[in-house]
Amino acid sequence: MMSLVGVMVLALIMGFIINRGVGLLTWDLLIGDYHPTTYNLSLPTTESLGGFARPNDLDESAFFSQMWGLGLMDDVDFEGKAVVRVIYVDAQSPLQMMRDKNNLERVVGLFPGLALEKVIFSDLTIGLSRTKAENFIILFDTHEGINDLLAVSSGNGIRGAIITTGLLIGFALMIALPIGIFSAVYLHEFAPKNNAFIHTMRKMIDTLSGVPSIVYGLMGAAVFIPFTSRISKAEGGNLFSGALTLAVMVLPIIISATIDALRAVPDDYRKASLALGANHTQTTFRIVIKSAVPGIMSAVLLSVGRMIGESAALIYAVGTAIKDHIILTEKSASLAVFIWSVMAGEVPNFELACSVAIIIMMVVLFINVLIKLVARRFALLP
């Protein structure tokens, strides 16, 4: 009965996440920046107005200015606020030759995807973000110059969080895999079988697997942040301190799973290799480890699954700053920490958080399927 209740609660949670987040799952979400970019442009005079034909493939609900070669549409942003979105700009439009008001020598072209915040025309008529697309087009068609145009890119993309997550996992595996695998090989293949110290070490490794991740985060803040700050230009949490924290956190998983993989290799393989003249070291590294590769791969996948959903440890060891341009010696936010960040403000962004949660669940599901496939192959070994 309790199991049924648990399944129903989990189904409700999954339904809520999918319902709130699936609408934002677009390619732009994956490759876009989180922080919007503001463009402050102007075009006081122009001699190339008029004569632009509406494109045949332009959305029927869009409004088009034949004078400026501009297509606009009413839209909503990630927070559900109404905006006027630029969806088309003709290649010959004078809007492709606007000047950046912060650097008049820089030419900036208006491009699809921008949201118009404010436009001040040559006679000081003002169009604001709350102006409908149709009214904006009327203003463009009745004016020949633009004193000030303020446009904003959409933002709320997770490209930076994806890159951060990939870098953290990559660096952590580079550190943890060699240490974990060689530790497991020593403990199972070379260490004395009845040694009390070795027995205690194995128990401690099993115990470390159950330590709460926030404890590892405190260790990262107390040990790895000062360490990385001393040897690099880092000033506080950074990707290196986060990778070291994750490496320590997944070491018990890698060691335990690798020991299980080595234990599953039949002793006949060892005896046959030794009988053919190979020594113990040659047998271990050429026969035993090679046979245990599928099990070791399962350990790697388990570790990746643990790290991609980790947040508590990284909040302390790396920080919660959402960055678009990733610098290894600065703070950043992984996918899991990204969810925490967008939900921690006064106005939680449920839609964006749920979208990222769906992505994490899809990756974890993919990893679990890989683990099953690798384990099946491992189980079929003779």
DSSP-assigned states of every residue in 292-334: THHHHHHHHHHHHHHHHT--HHHHHHT-----SS--TTS----
Helix extents (H) in 22-113: 27-31
pLDDT mean over 8-33: 82
pLDDT mean over 267-286: 87
User: Which of 94, 125, 128, 127 lies closest to 110, judged by CA?
Assistant: 94
Checking if the pLDDT of 169 tops 90, the result is yes
**What is the predicted pLDDT for the residue at 381?**
47
User: What are the chain's domains?
Assistant: 36-152 (2.30.42), 159-379 (1.10.3720.10)
- Taking only the tens place, the pLDDT of each residue in 83-111 is 889 999 988 888 888 888 887 778 888 88
Percentage with pLDDT > 90 across the chain: 21
Q: Is 42 helix (H, G, I), strand (E, B) or coil?
A: strand
**What is the predicted pLDDT for the residue at 382?**
46
pLDDT band at residue 79 using 50, 70 and 90 as cut-offs: low
DSSP one-letter code for 193: T
Percentage with pLDDT > 70 across the chain: 95
pLDDT mean over 237-245: 93
User: What is d(CA 319, CA 338) in angstroms, rounded to the nearest whole number?
Assistant: 10
Name the one residue in this structure whose structure tokens are 């003709």: 90
User: Which of 260, 258, 280 lies closest to 271, judged by CA?
Assistant: 280
> Which pTM value belongs to this model?
0.81
Phi, psi of 132 (to 5 degrees): -70, 155
Checking if the pLDDT of 48 tops 70, the result is no
